[in-house]
Each structure stands twice: as structure tokens, then as C-alpha cells.
Amino acid sequence: MKQLTLCILFTCALALLAGCDKPSPTAPGVDPALGESVYTQRCGSCHERGMAGAPRTGAADEWKTALERGIDTLIANAINGYRGERGFMPARGGHAALTDAEVTAAVHYMVNKVR
Ligand code: HEC
């Protein structure tokens, strides 16, 4: 009997641990509210409707090849600018005053819409 109780406790602990292990929707240290406001003010002009060939936010098929590059590359490309097959992504979306943290938060916001 004692063994059974221990076993149940152990299983519960494992289940709890597994629950904690779920990937959070946003990376730690990235502020989702900041991402949304930067996106709305600075990135949506192109990415909302696909202006200039920009992959549209929420359109998973248009983000497929970009996502394969991995989030770190996408962040670097958004900060430094990037010319791909679709068109030209200006450095920081053309808004030089944006900080790395702001651009990073906006990229997370966009990527979370297609993951
Ligand atoms: C002037 C229009 C424009 C604005 C503003 C803009 N983008 Fe883009 N963005 C593009 C275009 C065009 C591409 C596609 C480049 C390609 O794949 O050829 C792109 C691609 C990207 C990609 C994918 C890069 C990759 O490696 O495939 C990310 C991430 C991105 N933009 C983030 C942002 C963020 C964050 C902002 C706001 C700070 C922003 N963009 C603002 C036009 C824009």
C-alpha cells in the first residue's frame, strides 16, 4: 500500500513537471505587449497586407521558408535588413530609432502568429 501511494505521488510529480515544460508562447524576457505595439506602429504597414512582397502576418504559407531559418536569423535580418526572393526588408523596417529589443519583440509577435 505504501508503495502504491509513493507511485501515485511520483506520477503526479512527473505530470506536473511535464506541464511546466510546455514551451511558453513567447521567449523569456520578450514583452508581448511591446511586440504588438511596435508591430502595429512600425511593421504592420508592410506585413499586414504584404506590401512590397512582405510575408503577411498570420499567413503561415508565406512564412514557411522564413521560419526554417530559425528565430535568431529572422531577428538578425529584421535588425540589419534583408533582401530575399520576395523583396527587400529595410533594416528595422526603416525605423532606425527602434532598439534591438523592440525589433526582437516585434519579430516574436509576428512569428507567434504563424507558429
Ligand atoms: C517597407 C516595408 C516593410 C516594413 C515597414 C517592414 N518589413 Fe519586414 N519584410 C519586408 C519584406 C519585403 C520582407 C521579405 C523579404 C524577402 O523574403 O525577400 C520582409 C521580411 C521580414 C522578415 C523575414 C526575414 C527573413 O529572414 O525571411 C521579418 C522577421 C521581418 N520582415 C520583420 C519585420 C519587423 C519586425 C518590422 C518592423 C520593425 C518589419 N519587418 C517592417 C518589408 C517590410
State phi, psi for 71 to the nearest 5 degrees: -60, -35
Ligand 1 atom 3 nearest Cα: 46
Q: In this predicted model, what pLDDT tens digit does every residue of 52-99 receive, in sequence order?
A: 999 999 999 999 999 999 999 999 999 999 999 999 999 999 999 999
99 C-alpha to center of ligand 1: Å? 16
79 C-alpha to center of ligand 1: Å? 10
| Contact in structure between 42 and 106 (CB atoms under 8 Å) | yes
| Contact in structure between 57 and 72 (CB atoms under 8 Å) | no
22 C-alpha to center of ligand 1: Å? 29
**Within a 13 Å sphere around the CA of 29, how many CA atoms are in the beta-carbon half?**
3
What's the pLDDT band for 1 if we cut at 50, 70, 90? Answer: low
Integer-rounded Cα radius of gyration of the chain: 19
Query: Taking the mean position of all CA atoms in its chain, how far away is CA 11?
Result: 33
Question: What pLDDT, on the 0 to 100 scale, is given for residue 67?
Answer: 97
| Contact in structure between 55 and 47 (CB atoms under 8 Å) | yes
